Chain A
Amino acid sequence: MNSTGPNARNLLGIEDLDRAEIERLLDSGRHFKSVPPRKKLDALRGRSIVNLFFEPSTRTRTSFEIAAKRLGADTIGIQTLGSSLSKGESLVDTLNTLAAMNPDIIVMRHAASGAPHFLARHLSTPMINAGDGQHEHPTQALLDALTILEVKGTLQGLRVAIIGDIAHSRVARSNIHLLSKFGADIVACGPATSVSKNLTQLAPGVSLTNRMRDAVRDADVIMMLRVQLERQNVEVFPKSEYFRYFGLSLEHVALARPDAIVLHPGPINRGREISSEVADSQRSMILNQVENGVAIRMAVLEWVCSG
């Protein structure tokens, strides 16, 4: 169990979960997906959920909000703009304020790796990491797994190419942990400045390449990462030529297995990391991912509350 807080069940990262816990969350996600969206559930009726977003986010925040509402919970959104956070309130003061409000669940996104872990150490409220710095984004990996499983039926033995700024990506890190736990072959691909050799020690089954063609050849799944120039302190690649070497085009997809699928956590940068033709093709699962995101977040919200 991933409980770092005094007595709460948290979801801070995929690394801390075992296979059985992940399977349970995926099963539960499938269940929630099968429930018609208009049907209101009451699993979390009367519970209050604070969505604490220190970084701008539309999709993840909205997805968590919809998930919470469908489970009957009340949600309060706190974003950096328009709250005391932008006035320089420290994390420890936020912590004290939250402890006084006593919510039932905190969903947190923060630009600093480990920020939710810091809060979880001092709060007894269940905490869900909605993305921390360059560390993890566990619900993204869960919804990606659900999406892949819907098409492929298994993760075992699948060849999954993850392409982009791997070393600085929380999406990549969470996906590597999850896919590795289920026996996938993971090829991490990006410019050498983004693909640290230490990545092979992150989890079993990871190999590295700097060549797109090698990464996508015979792939069952191609997982593109968003180019996040706003999060680069220093330029790890010249953006002007990024698409030429690491952008996904139809020609790459042709090298993959005939039934290969393409994932992207969104929002996509057309023409930067993925061509419009690929994004709009039958192979693209991008909208399925969005739909599965709500189901997975329902599963996670229910799970942390039942701890």
Chain B
Amino acid sequence: MRLLIRNGRVVDPASGLDGGRDVLIDSDRIAAIEPQIECPDAEVIEADGMVVAPGFVDIHVHLREPGIEHAETIASGSRAAAAGGFTAVCCMPNTLPVNDSAQVTSFIVDRARRTAAVHVHPIGAISKGSQGERLADIGAMHAEGIVAISDDGIPVMNSGLMRRAMKYAASFGIPVIDHCEDLTLSSGGDIHEGIQSIRLGLGGIPSCSEDVMVARDIILAADTDSRVHIAHISTANSIAMVRHAKKLGLPVTAEVTPHHFALGDEEIPGYDSNYKMKPPLRTQLDIDAAIEGLVDGTIDCIATDHAPHTGHTKMQEFERCPFGITGLETALGLSLEALYHGGSIDLPHLVRLFSSAPSSCLDLDRGRLVVGGPADVTIFSTTREWTYDANQTLSKSKNSPFGGRKFRGGPVATIVSGRVVWTVDEGLRPQR
């Protein structure tokens, strides 16, 4: 089975390629990338005016399976990923049970193999049950396929445990991903501590609750010489500290979510829980710092923190609603708007932020478009005008603040292992 992507602008940041090329896919591999390819028996995708990029990788999603399948499954979440242009996702371990053992990891890997539309890499827990007390079976989970460890959402407060986790994970060559939040500082908080929390009478989550943990992690990374990846960085101070750490050559990487550079706390319309997430939406100063951090390489990549919640959990008092919003389907549109159309980031850099850069944060062998390499390809437009309809999402949950938002540019087709799994015109394609 052969597939020819014709007349696209092929952008592969890893090799520096940026030009008009045809891409031929044979089975699950890239067979050729040439200015002009003739292949009469191939299915043709016309990519005239489109960008043909290495398959996008989202290293921070919540797929909710096992245990919270009413909000999302590996099947539904991976389909939303495909609709967002992602060909691979890394799923966080805060499921029921927590992914803290080889059994849960192999369950996820197996479910993904049988039901997922895109590649799924599990992330294991740092501690048993993410309780922050004893290390999880990190080696055994690694043997089953985890690509990193994290107690995302239930962050490790105990610095001694964090230090041991960093060292221990390094012996398997995997990084620790930290959701940096000092719970003693953020406790009782609903949104960013600032004018908006004062205005709405909601509990504040101060920037310092993130900053002290980023500082701790950088110090521990220096001490252990082990890799730490800062999840969803959101404050100007944290970004400045990561910049400093990188100058010192420390093994620290960072991601930012599209909502953290696309929205600020003053845009929260009243008590709409689709604007409630951790870390919270910050200020314009922080947004500017995030964009600057992306421009100068302080922030390595974009990740969505796709966090589906069912309608009824979001239909209650604001302070009782869970944290988190969906993000897979809007990530590219938001990034094009805030970064590319805004003029701060060029196309090859934008593609890198979604493909090779997140791959290298977690040492995934993905995010490149090379002959002989895996045929994971994202085709997108920088001009197509469309409106996001959260009710039409492929996710099982609709908790997005971006319903009704108009975008210029977005995903057009998603190809995973040589198979077209989603196109903007047809939606999901049935798979064999």
Contact = CB atoms under 8 A, between A and B. Distances in A.
A245 interface: no
Contact of A234 (B187, B193, B270, B315): B187
B317 A198 contact: no
B200 interface: yes
Given A92-B312, A113-B201, A114-B317, A233 B271 contact: no
Contacts of B194: 198
Interface string B97-118: 0000000000000000000000
Given A110-B317, A114-B270, A117-B270, A199 B198 contact: yes
Contacts of B168: none
B198 A196 contact: yes
B68 interface: no
Contacts of A132: 201
A114 B318 contact: yes
Interface in A189-224: 196, 198-199, 201-202
B318 A118 contact: yes
Contacts of B312: 90, 92
A135 B203 CA distance: 10
A202 B271 contact: no
A27 B200 CA distance: 28
Band of interface residues on A: 20 to 34
A117 B273 CA distance: 12
Contacts of A112: 317-320
Q: Is the interface of B mostly helix, strand, loop or mixed?
A: loop
A15 interface: yes
A43 interface: no
A91 interface: yes
A112 B319 CA distance: 7
Contacts of A115: 317-318
Contacts of A170: 201
Contacts of A15: 199
B201 A234 contact: no
B317 A118 contact: yes
B200 A114 contact: yes
B49 interface: no
Interface string A108-137: 001011110110000000000000111110
A97 to B, nearest CB: 14
A61 interface: no
Contacts of B315: 90-92
Given A202-B195, A233-B188, A117 B316 contact: no
A297 interface: no
Contact of A167 (B198, B200, B270, B271): B198
Nearest to A110: B317
Given A113-B202, A133-B201, A202-B198, A92 B316 contact: yes
Contacts of A167: 198
B218 to A, nearest CB: 28
Given A113-B271, A117-B270, A201-B195, A135 B200 contact: yes
Contacts of B195: 198, 201-202
Contacts of A92: 312, 315-316
Contacts of B188: 233-234
Contacts of B200: 113-114, 135
Given A112-B319, A233-B203, 5 more contacts: A91-B316, A114-B317, A170-B201, A198-B195, A202-B195
Closest 7 CB pairs of A and B: A135-B201, A114-B271, A112-B317, A134-B201, A113-B201, A198-B198, A201-B195
27 contacts: A15-B199, A90-B312, A90-B315, A90-B316, A91-B315, A112-B318, A112-B320, A113-B201, A113-B202, A114-B317, A115-B318, A118-B271, A118-B317, A132-B201, A133-B201, A134-B201, A135-B201, A135-B202, A167-B198, A170-B201, A173-B201, A196-B193, A196-B198, A198-B193, A198-B194, A198-B197, A233-B187
Interface of B: 187-188, 193-195, 197-203, 270-271, 312, 315-320
Interface of A: 4, 15, 90-92, 110, 112-115, 117-118, 132-136, 167, 170, 173, 196, 198-199, 201-202, 233-234
